[in-house]
Structure 1
């Protein structure tokens, strides 16, 4: 019995020390941790994790593969020694997106082909590869021109992803891919981007001033699932507009003291769905992870807070060559986290902007209490049992 008590004390104290270190200790190297996650993800994809993800939500296969390739490019942008491996792995990812499995959920006859979701993300990956490998530029220019023509032929800034359905976030990614093209080579799409921005400003959600969650078949209010990705890509398109939109998003969706990101604006409530996943007290875990990457690009210290909390909630297991969160049961979550942890513009040596936001200094305190709660409970139970055993009988 005594050995059991000591065992519980040691385990819970170690839990408290580990959580404390993850909250307030030095942050580990983002790229080193991401490479270990990527090694885990490559093995998981080869074992069919992307096909399994497709059974969970409509773009599961696509997201797992595209984020795998994009994260490799981000790692190589910061660490040139990984460039050859990154190009090889990102091209492998691109091939999977363009395969029969990659295009199966989408409709070929849309403009652009397979819809703006598939076209936009695929083109963003092409552009990311082109920042490391100039031989990818010709294909990148061709696909960018095709996307630009689709936007120029539309009266709406939001092109369709599936027949009769359009989400602004998908068009944002596509326009960002055109902006990346103009940044790394001769500009071709300045007018297309300017026209798109003008139309976007005319179609903002009146309740929040942000881009709506869905545009077709009818506009719906802003939601964090799409906003977190929008905020990640807007800085590529227009820095000033991105900063104003990010401030609105931060004010209306971010809970700074948790910290976390609500799926619906403050003052509104709703249920989770296939886009957001299950909500925890109104907080979207997926949007929280993606927001960390957007915050990094905006120079917002919220990024560090969100990722530190993720280290506690995700309970990562780190080996010599791999790293996985939540025991690796949801590789797509690892992919989003690795993508956010290493967030930067492809080809840009700078990961973020000068800090212009603040976070409450005491945000770690509730999490520290949570980390040490098991140890406090064990100590309290042991103390109570000792007092009870010493109480004289009358």
Structure 2
């Protein structure tokens, strides 16, 4: 008569391989968790080096942009929207101005050279092409304001004793032209015109955004000490909702795993006594 095998002779059933779906779900959960963690770190850690030091990586980005501009990126941007060529060179030059203003006085030559190069591009025929010379002031407040802002930046990068008098006169003349345009074409009788795209003053003659952005930046005292900037950090209460949202996003993919493990701990599986065949807890 055959005896039932003892518990020592019973071989456990082979372990099932994890299903592909489970592996994919955990992989997606890991990716979402890592992204949420990186977002929280970027939210808490300052993104720049403050207002005095040079932000990391900016010079490499500007080097890349200069190579792209030399390769025709301005013309490509022009084909996408009317001010593409102008904006790309203006922002490139102003970025160098900002970078140069953070450097000591004797280390601004590279920033000055690149800012002047961008200014020359703005004053070239391709830079002026979208702007009519019949506007008031010539080529419009948009063109004159942004160009004068960059010209003021090039002056600010130079020691006061080495600034070109002709360049200073040009800066003052353009500032006066912008002031005259705002004085002569201001908001008439308090009745601006709202269009589907922007709000315009002087019965539609002068866009509000172009006018006051350009004037506020031109009126900035480039040749004098600037006021202290606001703190570069964000208040903790502004970060709290985003941090909570990132925490929820990172935890949600893991909820099914946590629920299964918690349930497995509370409910003990039945254990079968091999000798008696009676299920016990």
TM normalised by structure 2 equals 0.64
1:249-264 → structure 2 map (5 Å cutoff): none
1:18, CA displacement in angstroms? 1.3
Pick one of 30, 40, 55 that aligns with 1:10. Answer: 30
The aligned residue for residue 32 of structure 1 is 55
The aligned residue for residue 215 of structure 1 is 201
Partner Cα separation in structure 2 for residue 231 and residue 118 of structure 1: 12
Equivalences, count: 233
The aligned residue for residue 128 of structure 1 is 153
Q: Is the 8 A contact 1:130 1:137 kept in 2?
A: no
Q: Which runs of 5+ in 1 are unaligned?
A: 160-198, 207-211, 239-344
Partner Cα separation in structure 2 for residue 348 and residue 143 of structure 1: 15
Q: What are the Cα deviations for residues 153-187 of structure 1, in whole angstroms up to 9, with x where unaligned?
A: x6x5266xxxxxxxxxxxxxxxxxxxxxxxxxxxx
Q: Is the 8 A contact 2:175 2:219 kept in 1?
A: no
Whose radius of gyration is greater, 1 or 2? Answer: 2
Partner Cα separation in structure 2 for residue 99 and residue 124 of structure 1: 17
Residue 162 of structure 2 corresponds to residue 142 of structure 1: no
The aligned residue for residue 69 of structure 1 is 93
Partner Cα separation in structure 2 for residue 139 and residue 151 of structure 1: 18
Distance 1:46 1:138, change over 3 A: same
Q: Is the 8 A contact 1:69 1:89 kept in 2?
A: yes
- The worse-fitting range, judged by mean Cα deviation, of 42-51 and 85-94 is 42-51
Q: Partner of 1:214: helix, strand, or coil?
A: strand
Q: Which runs of 5+ in 2 are unaligned?
A: 1-19, 193-197, 270-281
Pick one of 117, 129, 133 that aligns with 1:108. Answer: 133
1:76, CA displacement in angstroms? 0.9
Distance 1:368 1:203, change over 3 A: farther
1:373, CA displacement in angstroms? 3.8
Pick one of 59, 62, 83 that aligns with 1:59. Answer: 83
The aligned residue for residue 311 of structure 1 is none
Distance 1:117 1:57, change over 3 A: same
Partner Cα separation in structure 1 for residue 189 and residue 39 of structure 2: 44
Partner Cα separation in structure 2 for residue 366 and residue 47 of structure 1: 43
Partner Cα separation in structure 2 for residue 353 and residue 50 of structure 1: 32
Pick one of 231, 245, 250 that aligns with 1:370. Answer: 245
Q: What are the Cα deviations for residues 63-99 of structure 1, in whole angstroms up to 9, with x where unaligned?
A: 1111111121121111136511111111110111111
1:360, CA displacement in angstroms? 6.8
Q: What are the Cα deviations for residues 36-58 of structure 1, in whole angstroms up to 9, with x where unaligned?
A: 43233223323433333333333
The aligned residue for residue 255 of structure 2 is 380
Pick one of 234, 241, 252 that aligns with 2:216. Answer: 234
Distance 1:116 1:93, change over 3 A: same
